[in-house]
A = this chain, B = another copy of it.
């Protein structure tokens, strides 16, 4: 063991724990660049990846990145103990899974724990996830990995007997349902500590939408205060460290479009906030992630079975997902539409129906009768709006916020129909791509407003949609993407050909179920 003096590098690696050693010290430890060391300080220790230098860090010193500094609460000149890190035992279990061996709880726990503590390299984590993709997990392993993901993260303890939740596996643009469901359910007296994700491939995640209404980056203690007062909250899950292993797994899964940990990922986060009653929305249809009712029912069955074993009562609702929900896509546009609906200024049939179905189902599962009707009443009598404003207030937003206060992008472009007939279909993927070119999810005011939905009659010259962007250059990008893509089709009822394929294309979309 070497004793080395800390020198802050003031560098942020974006996740990995990096330490810089002088070549002489790394030689003495028998560790090369890219090798792993254990750094000990007081009673804490972390494993870090080594970078080496001949000059910047002298013999007897250790340069630390911000991630190491924060993890061990180190300061310049602190002394730390440093040893070569042994190969983690969990690597043996990963090899076991590669060979098809079933893993025990203890083994899974060690893998997950080592993932969280940076003891496994990116490559090793990627191989584990890929092995799961091929070998699969049986029910017991799925339960065990869900539990391990909860135990290696923070948890929210509300001390309530019933804690409800909702989750959508996503894939439908414009789905602002959660912004209605949470206030409805909370207004009815149920506890719903909702944490949401940001968009990865979509135009807006619930956290992105909600952030235009109120702050969503809360600590778990702040979240607890809000829920104790208002019965509900809408916060970003990323700041809560509820299932830190999952945040690492998803970084690996996403670029590869594989998703072997979908169920453990979702349910571990629900379990971590103490939910024991959950409605899962499975959008289904052309342009959604789940294409057939059979697939949807298969997935629903898996959710329910796993839920039972984790003591979470689950109902799944398979919803129509072949076109956007409501008429807007993009964080601020969607938040505005949700606010207008909850205030009764407008009434989007599909949005209201979906929100009250889900809220109603949650109510029905927990002692209410005719939940759908109660949910509708709660919207109509202003209780839901009142609750939303309470949550906005408690999370630090402006309780008097009006729809027109939301900043919508000022660069705009209208698209009108050049023929007449019906709106035959809408292409979800194309709309998302256009919205992202316009700047979503980063530019909160960017997005799309639709004027027609599938089945609507369209006259020549009718407005089909408006593009919104915060920057003119992005509006141009969005317009050219829209012009080269098939976003929607106006035609007669019998125009069957959707497109002709004339050359091989190898493009595969970025696509992952939300969690």
Q: Which residues of A contact B (CB under 8 A)?
A: 9-16, 20, 30, 32-35, 50-56, 65, 87, 89, 91-96, 98, 107, 121-127, 129-131, 133-135, 251-252, 255-258, 442, 506-508, 510
A9 and B63 CA atoms in complex are apart in Å by 12
User: Could you name 14 residue pairs across A and B whose Cβ atoms are closer than 8 Å?
Assistant: A12-B52, A14-B51, A15-B33, A92-B507, A95-B256, A96-B506, A98-B256, A123-B255, A124-B126, A124-B255, A124-B256, A126-B130, A127-B129, A127-B256
Q: How far is the CA of A125 from the CA of B96 in the complex (A)?
A: 20
Inter-chain contact B13/A51, CB cutoff 8 Å? yes
Determine the chain B residues whose CB is within 8 A of the CB of A133 once the complex forms. Answer: 98
Contact yes or no, B52 A33, CB < 8 A:
no
Chain B residues near A34: list those with CB within 8 A.
Answer: 13-16
Residue on B nearest A57 in the bound complex, by CB:
B11
Q: Of the candidates B122, B127, B255, which one forms a contact with A87 in the assembled complex, judged by CB atoms under 8 Å apart?
A: B255
Q: Which chain B residues lie closer than 8 Å to A122 at the CB level?
A: 121-123, 126
Report yes or no: B87 in contact with A12, Cβ–Cβ below 8 A.
no
Of A34, A123, A129, A134, chain B has the most CB atoms within 10 Å of the CB of: A123
**CB-CB < 8 A to A125: which residues of B?**
123
Alpha-carbon separation in the docked complex, A93 to B257 (Å): 12
Q: Is the CB of B94 within 8 A of A256?
A: yes
Q: In the complex, what residues of B have CB within 8 A of residue A13's CB?
A: 33-34, 51
Contact among B53, B91, B131, B442 with A12 in the assembled complex (CB-CB below 8 Å): B53
CB distance from A474 to the nearest CB of B (A): 11
Q: Is the CB of B123 within 8 A of A50?
A: no
Q: How many copies does the complex hold?
A: 2
Cα–Cα, bound, A488→B125 (Å): 38
A15 to B50, CA, bound (A): 11
A120 to B, closest residue via Cβ: B255
Q: Which of B54, B55, B123, B442 contacts A30 (CB 8 A)?
A: B442
CB of B15 within 8 A of CB of A89, answer no
What residues of B have a CB within 8 angstroms of the CB of A54 in the complex? Answer: 10
Q: How far is the CB of A392 from chain B (nearest CB, A)?
A: 28
* B51, A12: Cβ atoms closer than 8 Å: yes
Residues of B within 8 A of A258 (CB): 95, 98, 127
A121 surroundings in chain B (CB, below 8 A): 122, 255
- Minimum CB–CB distance from A104 to chain B (whole Å) comes to 10
Besides A14-B35, A98-B256, 6 other A-B contacts (C-beta < 8 A): A16-B34, A87-B255, A87-B510, A95-B256, A95-B257, A123-B252
Pick from B11, B33, B129: contact of A51, CB under 8 Å: B11
Q: A131 contacts which chain B residues (CB < 8 A)? A: 130, 134
Cβ of A257: which chain B residues have Cβ within 8 Å of it?
95, 98
What residues on B are CB-neighbors of A96 within 8 Å?
506, 508
Cα of A125 to Cα of B154 in the assembled complex, Å: 31
Most B C-beta atoms less than 10 A away, residue of A9, A11, A14, A15? A11
Docked complex Cα distance between A54 and B123 (Å): 29
Nearest-Cβ distance from residue A23 to partner chain B, whole angstroms: 8
Across the interface, do B53 and A10 meet the contact criterion of CB distance under 8 Å? yes
- CB pair A252–B32 under 8 Å, yes or no, is no
Which B residues touch A95, using CB under 8 A? 256-258, 508
Pairwise interchain contact A123-B251, C-beta atoms closer than 8 A: yes
CB-CB nearest 8 A-B residue pairs: A14-B33, A14-B34, A123-B126, A130-B130, A126-B126, A134-B134, A122-B123, A122-B122
Closest Cβ neighbor of A27 among chain B residues: B442
Given known A121-B122, A125-B123, A258-B98, contact A56–B11 (CB-CB < 8 A): yes
Query: Which residues from B are CB-within-8-Å of A255?
Result: 87, 91, 121, 123-124
Across the interface, A506 reaches (CB within 8 A) one of B93, B252, B442, namely B93
Closest to A508 in B: B92
Closest to A123 in B: B126
> How far in angstroms is the closest Cβ of chain B from A480?
17
- Closest approach, in angstroms, between the C-beta of A386 and any C-beta of chain B? 38
Q: Which residues of B contact A130 (CB under 8 A)?
A: 98, 126-127, 130-131, 134
Residues of B within 8 A of A30 (CB): 442
In the complex, the answer to whether A10 meets B507 with C-beta atoms within 8 Å is no
